[in-house]
Structure 1
Amino acid sequence: MALRGHVDWLTRRQMIGWAQDTTAPDTPVSLFVSVDGRVVGRCLADRPRDDLVREGIGHGRHGFDFEFPDGSLPALSRCTVTVRREGDGTVVPGSPRVLDPVTSFDEDLQSRLAHALAETVGEAESDRRLTFLLDQVQLLRQLGAERRGAPAAAQNQPRALVIDTVMPAAERDAGSNAILSHMRALQRLGYAVTFVPTDLWADGRVLEAEGISCCLHPWYATVEEVLRRHAGAFALVYLHRVDTAGRYMQLVRDTQRGARLVYSVADLHHLRTARQAEIEGRADLAAYAEHLRFLEHTAAKAADAVVTHSMVEAAILHQHLPAERVHVVPWAVTLRPTLVPFEYRRGVAFIGGYRHRPNVDAAQYLIETVMPAVTLAIPCLLVGSGMPDHLQRLATARPGIEAIGHVSDLHAIFDRVRLTVAPLAYGAGIKGKVLDSLAAGVPCVCTPAAAEGLDLPEPLAELVANTPVEMARSIATLHEDEGLNRACVEAGLAYMRARHSEDQVDLALQTAAGLPAA
């Protein structure tokens, strides 16, 4: 009797196929299933199969679906499965089939594990299974952590660990640009760099593409776990911002004995908060500023080196620390001057992230006080992410003000305008958007708060305005006087080349890291 069919699917739990006796095409075929020559069960090929109908194979009811007894076949054994017709032992085509021992976490193994874990079991058995799984998870996380926490190159390099509150994003804020620049400088200084954000649920692909290892979920649950798993592994630990310094400094000392501990203030938070409290007349903010001052000074005193970007903040830190422990380290800014001629550009731009309160206040001050004092009809662009609704409404109601919002590339803005403006009433640290503007060949009119710490040369220093009238006059003059504008462009590019090159960053960070001069 002729037999046709096929074994279509085989796992350690199940086998699917079809069989038909061509001499009795409407009669279901009875089949025996054997494993390694031992019969383990019987099934009937009588299940409907639409694909068989489409192929014109009888009425289509020739399918079989066989589940192996005891749930599955042994995972670690090589199994040969054969399907034969009952009676004469004719082998179904596609059989015998061989299952090799499970050596990978394949779909079959995942299915069997899920099936086993879904079973209803007693409390003791449930505890036993959970304990086993947790042990395996811990083993996998340990193996993964060892691979991801230490780049291969670190075998012959000193290792540096950098901790910040968030994963840096160059387009987001000056703090991100600073930490990215400093990590790249540490690489150039010979360190194998590992980065960990306090929120470990982050995407580290951008940093890893630059050769910076990232300690993230699921391989690590906390920063504390990173420090303990890699105890004694790092020659330098760089803590960015007071939040990370306050939380992890002591644990760094306990787990990374002998490591140089560098605390980067980013900017002095207490200084910015105290200035806001004074302007707004808020006693609560003044009290909070004192609390921040205590935290920042405590962290600075506990560190081996303190990094700031501002000469002004360095002077404040010198009041509490030995001068040799305070280091002014800039961040690198790439020069990319606009190629659009002066006559093809028009207007002024304010650039800032509006989730930062000083920027919201500055934009409102610009719209309501500064631009009305500008005697010329000069368009003003408000650029940046997170712009609040009330600021958008205010801009819409004023002629000549355009609320642009977020842009993916600031050079599209620098190619449009003749200057930028930074009318900040308070703040701290170095203002990244001022540096970006100068590096783009676009002069910036600043308040003293925005220019603080920059030590600007002439004629850029003349663009620092104390009053709305002075700022309006500088905006109008710089917008119309091409010669003055060009002189400020050249001074700005020369300043950025001298102060914010990679060489300057490397030299300053080398000293902060305690490395000998080359």
Structure 2
Amino acid sequence: MENLQNILIIGTVWPEPDSSAAGSRMMQLIQSFKKEGSKVTFASAAADSDFMVNLADFGVDKENIKLNCSSFDDFLKKLNPDLVVFDRFMTEEQYGWRVSEACPNTLKLLDTEDLHTLRYARQKAFRQNRTFKIDDLLEEEIAKREIASIFRCDLSLVISQTEMEILNEVFHVDLSLLYYLPFLLPSIKDQDISKCKSFEERQHFVSIGNFLHEPNWNAVLYLKEEIWPLIKSKLPKAELHVYGAYPSQKVWELNNAKQGFLIKGRAEDVNEVMSATRVCLAPLRFGAGLKGKLVDAMRNGTPSVTTSIGAESMALGLEWAGFIADDAITFAEKATTLYQDLHIWNSAVRQGVLIINQNFNESAANYFLVHLSKLKSDLVRHRNHNFIGQMLNHHSMASTKFMSKWIEAKNSNGSRNLL
């Protein structure tokens, strides 16, 4: 990647790989860039957190930036990156026009993480107690922003095959503007699985997920109110251990030792938690993207029961590493079966290895980096063929630019008035 030696990533937040799948995904990208010898700078306007990764440990420069402030322009011109990666479309909205203005020849890459439009449309349909329809996406207000951001960028990373199809077929985004890049994971070897605890050495159920993410919180409520009582009636000695970063008081209030429903809070080591548990439960009723919790389960030899949305775009034609069920009664029945049946459990463990090795191999990063390098070399022609992107950059750059400058001037005048 001789033409992509200097890379800037603009983060919505600082990476927390132990808190969310998005944090893990970001670190996979960073490590892929570093492996090729690129200099990587990670910048964000977010406040530091207690659980953010120490970027210096990975040879990454950390830069605190401001929203709606021309100091970013000065920083950008000085850095002069070959590639800018926007972490989700909101950062592209804030900083995309500044990158285009200060560094017009810089390649602009959007990491979508998951398709927010899909997640919000499904969530709205769920709350309205109706079936989600594909046309709901066209009515979702956030779609106008997210799809516009995708067109303004030179390339967008998409983590799910389902979302690739939606972007291409529903929103008519040309495939030249999209790149499918799922989780980048090392292959699971036979000796890795042999080191995992056996069926007999494990006990209880686990649910895990960042509580700030609405689909996770809803899944925990679903477990508490409908699914767990059914499982508990069949397995009275079993417990459900619920883990997740950033639990609120309302989360802690769900803890009930008598029911075996135990809120554990943040998992210090997800691998340790998963490897000691017999079955992972992920009854997600809305959401998008790929589910890091289910990847963690498969990597630790832990079968799972999830929904169609939970398993979406993960098995890709292979059988699931456990069961898929979309109603509470069936979900509880499948969870009970998986918990008790050694043969089915062992088969699910092997299936998880197959899914990881076939669908999420880290070698995909090599092809991605080659694609980026070629795109950088052919950037003028690529942009000329993205007329909608040129049009949106022309108009939105003007409106976003002047709104940002107005906010900056307002803040500056406010500061002087305080003096």
Q: Do both share a fold (TM > 0.5)?
A: yes
Deviation string for 1:437-490 (max 9, x for gaps)?
111111111111111121355441661112112211211111111122112111
What is the Cα deviation at residue 498 of structure 1? 2.7
With the length of structure 1 as denominator, give the TM-score of the two structures. Answer: 0.64
Identity %: 24
Deviation string for 1:141-165 (max 9, x for gaps)?
xxxxxxxxxxxxx999721111111
Instruction: Please give the alpha-carbon distance, in whole angstroms, between the structure 2 residues aligned to 1:155 and 1:505.
Output: 16
1:228 aligned onto 2:74: yes
What is the Cα deviation at residue 322 of structure 1? 0.8
1:497 aligned onto 2:357: yes
1:206-217 alignment runs, 5 A limit? 206-216=54-64
2:152 match? 302
1:330 match? 182
* Stretch of structure 1 that moved more, 255-264 or 324-333: 324-333
1:367 match? 224
Report the CA distance shift for 1:387/1:228 in structure 2 as closer, same or farther (over 3 A). Answer: same
From 1, 15, 20, the equivalent of 1:173 is 20
- Whether the 8 Å contact between 2:45 and 2:64 is mirrored in structure 1 is no
Instruction: Please give the alpha-carbon distance, in whole angstroms, between the structure 2 residues aligned to 1:460 and 1:209.
Output: 36
1:350 aligned onto 2:216: no
Q: Please give the secondary structure, in 1, of the residue aligned with 2:64.
A: coil
Instruction: Please give the alpha-carbon distance, in whole angstroms, between the structure 2 residues aligned to 1:165 and 1:288.
Output: 25
State the aligned residue count. 360
From 163, 166, 171, the equivalent of 1:313 is 163
Q: Please give the secondary structure, in 1, of the residue aligned with 2:256.
A: helix
- Whether the 8 Å contact between 2:3 and 2:373 is mirrored in structure 1 is no
Instruction: Please give the alpha-carbon distance, in whole angstroms, between the structure 1 residues aligned to 2:48 and 2:274.
Output: 35
Instruction: Please give the alpha-carbon distance, in whole angstroms, between the structure 2 residues aligned to 1:457 and 1:418.
Output: 25
Greater per-residue helix proportion: 2
Instruction: Please give the alpha-carbon distance, in whole angstroms, between the structure 1 residues aligned to 2:73 and 2:347.
Output: 51
Letter in 1 for 2:305: V
Instruction: Please give the alpha-carbon distance, in whole angstroms, between the structure 1 residues aligned to 2:247 and 2:39.
Output: 39
What is the Cα deviation at residue 429 of structure 1? 0.9
Instruction: Please give the alpha-carbon distance, in whole angstroms, between the structure 2 residues aligned to 1:391 and 1:501.
Output: 35
Instruction: Please give the alpha-carbon distance, in whole angstroms, between the structure 1 residues aligned to 2:53 and 2:331.
Output: 43
Runs of 5+ consecutive residues of structure 1 not aligned to the other structure: 1-153
1:466 aligned onto 2:326: yes
Greater per-residue strand proportion: 1
1:383 aligned onto 2:383: no
Q: Which has the higher contact order (CA 8 A, sep 6+)?
A: 2
What is the Cα deviation at residue 495 of structure 1? 1.7
Instruction: Please give the alpha-carbon distance, in whole angstroms, between the structure 2 residues aligned to 1:472 and 1:486.
Output: 19
2:309 match? 449
- Whether the 8 Å contact between 1:309 and 1:329 is mirrored in structure 2 is yes
1:158 match? 5
Computed over aligned residues only, the root mean square deviation of the Cα atoms, in angstroms, reads: 3.0
Runs of 5+ consecutive residues of structure 2 not aligned to the other structure: 131-135, 378-419
What is the Cα deviation at residue 226 of structure 1? 3.9
From 183, 189, 192, the equivalent of 2:39 is 192
Deviation string for 1:498-517 (max 9, x for gaps)?
33232123323542554699
Q: Please give the secondary structure, in 1, of the residue aligned with 2:272.
A: helix
What is the Cα deviation at residue 372 of structure 1? 2.2
From 143, 149, 156, the equivalent of 1:293 is 143
What is the Cα deviation at residue 281 of structure 1? 2.1
- Whether the 8 Å contact between 1:162 and 1:194 is mirrored in structure 2 is yes
Q: Please give the secondary structure, in 1, of the residue aligned with 2:263.
A: strand
Deviation string for 1:232-284 (max 9, x for gaps)?
7211111111110111111111111211111111111122111111111299x
With the length of structure 2 as denominator, give the TM-score of the two structures. Answer: 0.78
Q: Please give the secondary structure, in 2, of the residue aligned with 1:424.
A: coil
Instruction: Please give the alpha-carbon distance, in whole angstroms, between the structure 1 residues aligned to 2:146 and 2:94.
Output: 12
1:255 aligned onto 2:105: no
Deviation string for 1:297-325 (max 9, x for gaps)?
10001111011111111111113211122
